[in-house]
Amino acid sequence: MIAEYDKLDAVAMADLVRRRELKAEELLDEAIARTEARDTVLNAVTTRFFDLARDRIAQGLPDGPLRGVPFLLKDLGVFYAGTKTTSASRLFADFSSPIDSTLAERYVRAGLVIFGKSSLSEFGISATNEPEMFGPCRNPWSLEHTTGGSSGGAAAAVAGGIIPSAHAADGGGSIRIPASHCGLFGLKPTRARVPLGPHISESWAGMTIHHVVTRSVRDSAVLLDVSQGAAPGDPYWAPPPAASYLELTKRDPQRLRIAVSLKSFEAVALDPQVRAGVENAAKLCESLGHQVEWVDPALDDVIPDEEYLQCRADIIHASMYTSLLRRNRQLGRDFSGRDLQRVTALFAEAGREVSAQTYLNAIQTLQRASRALGQQFEKWDVLLGPVCATPPHKLGEVDMESTDLATYKAIARSHTGYTSIWNVAGNPAMSVPLHWSTEGLPIGVQFTGRFGAEDTLYQLAGQIERAAPWADRRPAAFPATS
């Protein structure tokens, strides 16, 4: 047992390996021991390949900035040669890729030791993490509550003390929502900041982006340093950063214009505890010297809520149906309802009816809304608001076996009502763990930056972390052991 393990983030672990005070083998053994001890409760790690990880260490790890740090990949959208990527669906139960994704290659080059895959909702379409294939993933802060989704396994593994950082992905809030529910830091990068290839050119018309959930801001920053940047053949990419994100976290930003808004673009009711978290965060930012003002971002005159929701749904449904057709060709058979959870099947059925004209109209309509939001960001540097409309739900409240898609989506919007708009617009946005409910459940607050401006967010996050640190606040189920 490594006595200080709970106090170490990924940067600190790599530093100890670099100075030969710890070995990569010791860190991996600790992560494996914790997985075996804690995952019987959390159900966060779906696929384990401990021997492969040990073999990679024995072969010699690259001398990257995170050399020797144990790490999990989300079981969706990124491939690690010779390991299964199930997408939490029976339809992909035996799927594996013979080659790595570009992102996996970059993680390996950074020195990370990948030893498993983390749980998610089926195909990542739910904002809770309760796939039928693997069963529900449990929140370390309260085992009766959801971790949020879809990257709930990653968040549970980090909040539960198995590893300090884990890969995640975000198509409508799937980094920020579980970060909020599990008391972690989670930044969704700018659209196309992180490459998806060579298997995927874009996902959900560019709304999906990969990154991580972490305990510390600097872990998130260094992991974006090693993963960001266009790969050969990428159709488009984010503007390159002017400096290392890790270095930026050490510097306070100049005085920022921070707008604060409680407006949702999905017509959801806001819980008073979430409102209090935003108000407290605004006061904290003001105390740090930033200019803070309450605003009401105008988008209704560009696209009404219902049209926004329909256009986004058309893209997601059509993308889901297309992915399933591709799997049909691989399997040589048609998928059936027995292969999928009910809501997933309903998504696919809806996607079957989306015409090319409807799909293109959805993209053009959402791009028009994105430009309107971009113009408003000329007035401020950062927008502060909620991540989710409510504290974490109890498990079972968001039902992937529902036969009523409209009711399912109405409940799900309490998770995505404040997050999905920034997947559409492509702006970077982060969940920062600054508030807890009266039940002791984490409530993150969301900071959104201008397109391409992760540098501003990382500077602000570093400043906030120094002013209101959260690292020592741990769930009662898995407190720090040292």
Question: What average pLDDT score do residues 178-206 get?
Answer: 95
Closest CA to 432 of 71, 65, 183, 194: 183
Residue 284: φ, ψ to 5°:
-60, -45
Question: What average pLDDT score do residues 363-387 get?
Answer: 94
Question: What average pLDDT score do residues 341-364 get?
Answer: 96
Catalytic residues, which ones?
A: 74, 150, 174
Q: Is the pLDDT of residue 164 over 90?
A: yes
- Dihedral (Cα; 72, 75, 76, 81), 10-degree rounding: 80
Q: Tell me: the pLDDT tens digits for 397-417?
A: 988 988 887 888 888 888 999
Average pLDDT over the chain, rounded to an integer: 95
pLDDT band at 335 (very low <50, low <70, confident <90, very high): confident
Q: Is the pLDDT of residue 482 over 60?
A: no
Distance CA 188, CA 195 (A): 13
The token duo for 41 is: 């409760």
Query: H or E stretch including 187?
Result: strand 185-188
Question: What average pLDDT score do residues 17-25 get?
Answer: 98
Polymer length in residues for the chain:
482
pLDDT band at 1 (very low <50, low <70, confident <90, very high): confident
Angle at the Cα of 364 from the Cα atoms of 360 and 370, rounded to 5 degrees: 145
3-state class (DSSP) for residue 131 = coil
Distance CA 179, CA 433 (A): 8
Q: Which residues are registered as beta bridge partners of 120?
A: none
Least confident range of 135-144, 245-254, 467-476: 467-476
Query: H or E stretch including 53?
Result: helix 50-59
Which pLDDT score is estimated for 300? 65
Distance separating the N- and C-terminal Cα atoms of the chain: 11
pLDDT band at 468 (very low <50, low <70, confident <90, very high): very high
Distance CA 314, CA 360 (A): 10
User: Quick one: CA dihedral 136, 114, 18, 34, positive or negative?
Assistant: positive
Distance CA 383, CA 403 (A): 37
Closest CA to 281 of 436, 390, 456, 158: 436
Cβ–Cβ under 8 Å, residues 122 and 75: no
User: What is residue 377's DSSP assignment?
Assistant: G
Question: What average pLDDT score do residues 193-217 get?
Answer: 95
Residue type (1 letter), 98: P
Which pLDDT score is estimated for 481? 73
Q: Is the pLDDT of residue 362 over 70?
A: yes
What CA–CA distances, in Å, run from 383 to 334, 341, 354?
Answer: 45, 36, 34
3-state secondary structure 18-43: HCCCCCHHHHHHHHHHHHHHHHHHHC
Peptide bond before residue 150 is cis, with ω within 30 degrees of 0: yes
Distance CA 182, CA 203 (A): 26
Query: H or E stretch including 280?
Result: helix 272-287
pLDDT band at 293 (very low <50, low <70, confident <90, very high): very high
Burial category of 3 from C-beta neighbours within 10 Å (exposed 0-12, middle 13-18, buried 19 and up): exposed
pTM, 2 dp: 0.97
Q: Is the pLDDT of residue 297 over 80?
A: no
Q: Is the pLDDT of residue 165 over 70?
A: yes
Q: Tell me: the pLDDT tens digits for 26-80?
A: 999 999 999 999 999 999 999 999 999 999 999 999 999 999 999 999 999 999 9
Q: Tell me: the pLDDT tens digits for 83-118?
A: 999 999 999 999 999 999 999 999 999 999 999 999
